[in-house]
Amino acid sequence: MTDARRVVVLGGGPGGDVAALRAAQLGADSYLVERAELGGTCLNWGCIPTKSLLSSVDLLRRMQRADEYGLVAKEVGFDFGKMMKRKDEIVTTMRGGVEGAAKRKGVTVVGGQGVVDGDAVVVDGERYPFDVLVVSVGTEPSGLAGIDMEQDAVLTSNDILMLTRVPKSLLIIGGGVIGCEFASLFAPLGTKITVVELLPRLLAEIDERTARQFQRLLEKDGVTVHLGRTVEEIEKYLKSGVRARLDDGTIIKAEKLLVSVGRAPQTEGIGLREAGVEIDERGHIVVDEFLCTANPSIYAVGDCIGGLQLAHLASAEGARAIENALGEQRTPIDRTVVPSCIYTHPEIATVGLNADAAKEAGHEVKLGQARFLGSGKALGEGEAEGYAQIVTDADTGLILGATIMGVHAVEMIHEVGVAIADGFSAADLGGVIHAHPTVSEMVMDAAQQAVGVAPYLS
């Protein structure tokens, strides 16, 4: 432990929370400054509220297919107000957990906008000196040039979580993770959804094959997708919604317009540049491999430093930044094995390199694949769409990554991450006996298929 014993963390999201708690564990005087609610975007406007609503919708999907399970469920419907209330209650419960952890660990929580001023953070005129400052200020939804974001019909990903009723129609600009998750959320509720994406496919983060298959399933849910297109103009902001014209002349009318084109870091106007912190042209804080900025007393973590915008990565960075700042040894943050999860229907999860990325990186790629159609457990759950795909290096047999699309994908991906971290080959992973019947045995089958020993797969 160094002499740096007073830690101030600016931003109370998953990166900042963990940083403040870890600092207290290591014996520092820990202060956590948050201008809004503890938990940040993930807990209040992202991961937790959206997954709470998606859970309700997934149950609705199954109830609507009750006859396939031999069940009789008459007049299946939903109460959107109760869904939103349940969402809010879950958020409140989780936020209370963060507050309780801070109290137990002795972290001082300071409410208000913090501004860096020399060797202190100033909140409402009061100075909080630091030996170490960790910046975890996160991001906010980006607007789009040419669109009046103040119109009632125009929504960000924050605004849409405050709706009091289900819109009859929804135009989503942006076919990335957030846009596709909201499409999966509102389609089963009866909303007529149109997704407009600038790129030639949805979900640029995943491989092309999975993106194509997901689009087919999304369209099966009634969603209309326009790829390689832009919204040229919002011709009218109507009392009942918007009238948009695409660059190919297509006219789309919708009650609500969701702008889902990314998120911008909240790094300006809080004294970072004046403190010697370098900020790049996109507004992200520049850090080294140890998460330290150009000012050796200031570290930064989470979405505000760019790269993968994932709550679990931010938490890992928060802990590592504190350990590097207060410990006697510094360790780089390793981002090679970070799972990414998309909570659409079906779910999509990846870790390591996908098939396309592995080829672009110069690997001779060999794939192992197992379709959920061959899983008795997936069939029993009525969720036979999807597959597990293991990406290996053809020369060494080592696992480079995996993509899983289908039921429970986000729960299954982690064992492949462990396998990559431990240097497993496909043969090693395929040799680990998996319980039957489980959907996760598709991972074993895919690994065995990669080395040609899967008994049921060609």
Residues annotated as catalytic (active site), given as ranges:
436
d(CA 201, CA 356): 14
Q: Which two tokens stand for residue 244?
A: 């948009």
Which residues have CB under 8 Å from 68's CB, separation 6+?
382
Specify the residue for token string 């889902």.
260
**Exposure class string for 242-280: b at 16+ Cβ within 10 A, else e:** bbbebeeeeebbbbbbbbbbebbbbbeebbbeebebebe
Contact 368, 206 (CB under 8 A): no
d(CA 208, CA 130): 47
Q: Are strands 224-227 and 192-197 parallel, antiparallel or unpaired?
A: parallel
Q: Dmax over Cα atoms in the chain, in whole Å?
A: 70
* DSSP 8-state symbol, 374: G
Give residue 435's identity as a one-letter amino acid code: A
Contact 317, 301 (CB under 8 A): yes
